[in-house]
Amino acid sequence: MAITLNGSNNTIGGLANGGLPDGCILDADINGMAASKLSGALPAISGAALTGVSGGLVSFKHAPISAYQVIQSTSLTLTNLQITYTPVDGANNRVYVLMTGNFEFDGNDNNHHQFIIKCTGQHTTDLPLSSQRVGSDIASVPNTTSLCMLLRDPNITGNAAITYRAGVYCEDVANSQHRMRNNLALTVFEIDPSANQN
């Protein structure tokens, strides 16, 4: 088919599909495109370039305790419960740590046990509000306590890796057992703050 130029309405006729050479239509020449035209394999799209997309979960990582553990000490002892996480965008997103599972206490009577999350890597500030008295032992039978805490780490400022590790100790005597059960776990969530509905 012959190519025709119509000067009265500025149109070109007779072009077959793919008839224009590559590079002759620039981004600035495209004012809009129907969604139906976007099909098949699309090029990689940066999330930073998208608009109108609400925030939410960016990334998460889950780590169960590596092995059952019994600790008997009045000094802070780091445990097998730990997780290392590398933020996607620590400068802008919020990082939360979820602690779940069970402890068991045994050995004496009414001795109190403490729990804390220590941090290494990107920063070394203890996870705020993680220092808690989590239970007491009973002389006659093991005493089991459930743990469930979701805490934000406000000291994340970049994308360097951070390790969260649980530490425990008995306030009173060294022979009171703090048993770290196999169902204990740490989970880290990274959230786009625009998802916050508070």
Determine, yes or no, domain membership for 157: yes
The alpha carbon of residue 182 and the mean position of all alpha carbons in its chain are separated, in whole angstroms, by: 22
Q: Which residues contact 63 (CB under 8 A, 6 or more apart)?
A: 82, 83, 185, 186, 187
pLDDT above 70 for 1: no
Determine, yes or no, domain membership for 174: yes
Determine, yes or no, domain membership for 36: no
Residue spans of beta strands (DSSP E) within 66-142 = 69-71, 77-85, 94-106, 112-121, 132-136
Q: How many CB atoms lie within 10 A of CB 172?
A: 15
Smallest CA-to-CA distance from 82 within 114, 113, 127, 129 is with 127
Report the number of distinct structural domains present in the chain.
1
Query: For position 142, what pLDDT does the model report?
Result: 74
Structural domain range at position 93: 57-195
Determine, yes or no, domain membership for 28: no
**Mean pLDDT across 108-130:** 88
Determine, yes or no, domain membership for 80: yes
What torsion do the CA atoms of 36, 41, 42, 43 make, to the nearest 10 degrees? Answer: -160
Give the span between the Cα atoms of 46 and 51, in whole angstroms: 11
Q: What is the per-residue pLDDT across 135-183, written as a single tens digit (0 to 9) for each?
A: 776 766 777 888 889 999 999 999 999 999 999 888 877 777 778 888 8
Could you tell me the CATH number of the domain that includes residue 153? Answer: 2.60.120.1340
DSSP three-state, residue 175:
coil
Determine, yes or no, domain membership for 144: yes
Q: Which residues contact 183 (CB under 8 A, 6 or more apart)?
A: 64, 100, 101, 102
Global pTM exceeds 0.75: no
Q: What is the per-residue pLDDT across 16-72, written as a single tens digit (0 to 9) for each?
A: 776 666 767 777 777 777 777 777 777 777 666 666 666 688 999 999 998 888 888
Token pair belonging to 192: 């786009």
Determine, yes or no, domain membership for 20: no
Query: For position 177, what pLDDT does the model report?
Result: 78
